[in-house]
Amino acid sequence: MDNSVLLSASHLKKKYRIDRKNSIFAVNDVSLDIFTGETLALVGESGCGKSTLSKILMQIIKPDEGTVSFEGKEISSLSERALRPYISRMQMVFQDPASSLDPRMKIRDIIAEPLKAFKIYGTQAEMNERILELTDMVELKEDCLNRYPHEFSGGQKQRIGIARAIAASPKLLVCDESVSALDVCVQAQILNLLKRLKNQLGLTCLFISHDLSVVSFIADRVCVMKNGAICELAPAEKIYSAPEHEYTKYLLASVYCP
């Protein structure tokens, strides 16, 4: 990890209407920096706003207020066309590996989607070589490429999703509850894979989770969210050894209770 900021958020707000008269802040005045090469974990209970925040950072949705900058360039006000060059450098691994893969597509075509979308390779031979490379990176066998998603386990599907996410050689990988739908032993395998790929490819990661026991294995820093706002942001070792906010202490107690 170095001291350069890859992605920066400043005073982000996002409000949703809950009925004709009332609204609620899903994200309320959030500012944070993600440093190049680090894994920042975004932690909180369901409904705290962490997924909404990640979608704003990825420009899937626009904030009501505030800005997002990537590599020093403010991107939150860009048009869809102007934003396109940045999207290839920010990719996401989704929570449910089954629903994130098109059941009608073969695995080869799923992994090739970003390569085609961003026109990365000029020839089919180059694309095929890249697909084989990605398959090997996520520890899948070549014979998987002509099969369909329903033929694979949850862990294998998540490996396919990871291969697709890293296909365009992104700088930022956002993992949105990417192991929460998996069995514990499979979670460990996927976490080890993500950690290895981060080091191998020089990735910066935003890892979103409700589970502090999972986060402890992978995070350099931990950002704790409650009710749409950040209540604590600190290095991982400090969060686990000397948390300051009562909500952080509550989350830790719920995981590490005797």
Residues 184, 158: one domain?
no
Give which of 228, 232, 229 is closest to 250, Cα–Cα: 232
Domain range holding 162?
101-169
Domain boundary among 124, 144, 169: 169
pLDDT confidence band for 256 (50 / 70 / 90): low
pLDDT confidence band for 9 (50 / 70 / 90): very high
111 CB contacts (<8 Å, ≥6 apart)? 131, 134, 135, 145, 160, 163, 164, 167
Residues 198, 75: one domain?
yes
The model's pTM is 0.91
Each residue of 217-228: pLDDT tens digit?
899 999 999 999
Residues 175, 251: one domain?
yes
Q: How far apart are CA 33 and CA 51, in angstroms?
A: 17
Q: How far apart are CA 236 and CA 233, in angstroms?
A: 9
Each residue of 226-250: pLDDT tens digit?
999 999 999 999 999 999 999 999 9
218-242 in b/e form (b: 16+ CB < 10 A) is bbbbbbbbbebebbbbbebeebbee
Each residue of 188-226: pLDDT tens digit?
999 999 999 999 999 999 999 988 888 988 999 999 999
User: Edge to edge, what strands does the sheet with 172-176 contain?
Assistant: 90-93, 172-176, 204-209, 39-43, 221-226, 229-235
pLDDT at residue 21 above 90? Answer: no
Domain boundary among 169, 197, 214: 169
Amino acid occupying residue 172: L
Torsion angle, alpha carbons of 187, 153, 131, 71, to 10 = -30
Each residue of 86-100: pLDDT tens digit?
999 999 998 888 888
